[in-house]
Amino acid sequence: MKKVLVGWLFALCLPAMAWQPSKPIEVLIAWPPGSGNDIVFRALAPQVEAKHGVKFTITNRPGAGGVVGTEQFSRMPADGYHINVVSLGGLTAMDRTFPVFAERTPYTIASFDYVTMLATAPLAIIAARDDAVSTPKALIDTLKTQAVTVADSGGGGRLGLETVLLRSGAKGNMQLVRVEHKGPAQTVTDVGGRHVRFGAVPLSVAAPFHLDPKGAIKIVALTSKEPHPALPEVGVINQVVPVVAELPWALMVPKGTPKEAVDWYAKVFREAIETDQSREIWRRNFFITDLALTNPTALTAHVNRMERDNRAVVDTILKDLGR
């Protein structure tokens, strides 16, 4: 009995074992390959795999602006082996931008636990390279008066574009048609091929085409607060109408995932974000990361603020329009 007691007391004195994955981790991205979520995660995943001996199995499940994949993810087990690369802008405004939420609520922000911010980027409004529109003012004037088609790929992109249209009064143009694509790659292809006049995609997706003199598209406006120092020739929507919109991408897990697992993911992905390799990728893709939001507690508070702010913005705009 004495030996058993001593052994039990010894066990209590040992430090708690840190959580470490012992099997492949399933990653769901509710957007297609080439989306901002996809680019960010695939830049970081190999570094985490190499350093920590883990394996990520990535599944892209696009549809309905992220709703299809996110609804599926909300039903996954909270065992530490399921993570989601989420567009926080879209998640926190789904009930204001997608009709399905008027009929039923597939999930809410409370359906998930939040791990770490990965990156943010402004929204870029794009047009074909030889389109006559090249400035934010010309864009807004065209959206308000001409028969044009403008595309987005849902989520935060849809919210940002809808805000631009509502704030500018372009939403009242009965000739304007807004269409939704499954991802920014399709939007770039359709704008470059002149199947649609304008598109809204992450800056990280649009920039390589804009900077390539032979690229099929150009950026006519950004939704950042101020012009980007690397793109001084591109104006911002905020110079014409009061709109600032960013696309934030983060990691989240099913509600109730063990805290040890959440903390492990937050730690290893922050380490990956801070490597020289990632800094170079971030520079090339115009990504920014707020390291203060790589903490799960801080990110959760940020998500709650985003939901309140997005609700207030959309509701105020609709009220101003008498809707």
pLDDT tens-digit map of 33-88: 888 899 999 999 999 999 999 999 999 998 888 888 999 999 999 999 999 999 99
- Give me the mean pLDDT over the 26-33 stretch: 94
Tell me the two tokens of residue 252: 């989240």
Architecture of domain 23-120+247-320: 3-Layer(aba) Sandwich (3.40)
Of residues 323 and 80, the one with the higher pLDDT is 80
pLDDT digits (tens, 9 = 90+) for 233-289: 999 999 999 988 888 999 999 999 999 999 999 999 999 999 999 999 999 899 999
What are the helix (H) ranges across 24-117?
36-52, 67-73, 88-91, 94-97, 100-103
Q: What average pLDDT is seen over the chain?
A: 89
Q: Residue-wise over 195-213: b if at least 16 C-beta within 10 A, else e?
A: ebbbbbbbbbbbbebbeee
Other Cβ atoms closer than 10 A to 71: 17
Residue 42 burial (C-beta neighbours within 10 Å; 0-12, 13-18, 19+):
middle
Boundaries of every domain in the chain? 23-120+247-320, 122-239
Contact (CB, 8 A) for 167 and 223: no
**CA-based nearest residue to 69, from 242, 252, 231:** 252
pLDDT of 156 above 80: no
**CA-based nearest residue to 310, from 252, 245, 216, 265:** 245
DSSP state of 247: E
Residue 322 is predicted with a pLDDT of 54
Q: How far apart are CA 315 and CA 73, in angstroms?
A: 28
Dihedral sign, Cα of residue 249, residue 88, residue 258, residue 16: positive
The model's confidence at residue 320, banded by pLDDT at 50, 70 and 90, is low
DSSP state of 111: G
Residue 10 is predicted with a pLDDT of 44
CATH of domain 122-239: 3.40.190.10
Contact (CB, 8 A) for 181 and 152: yes
49's CB contacts (< 8 A; 6+ apart) are 55, 56
278's CB contacts (< 8 A; 6+ apart) are 43, 44, 47, 272
Predicted model pTM? 0.85
pLDDT of 9 above 70: no
pLDDT of 4 above 50: no
The model's confidence at residue 18, banded by pLDDT at 50, 70 and 90, is confident
Equal fold, 23-120+247-320 vs 122-239: yes
Q: Are strands 82-87 and 246-254 parallel, antiparallel or unpaired?
A: antiparallel
Residue 94 is predicted with a pLDDT of 77
Residue 6 is predicted with a pLDDT of 46
Of residues 310 and 161, the one with the higher pLDDT is 161
φ, ψ of residue 290 in degrees (nearest 5): -90, 105
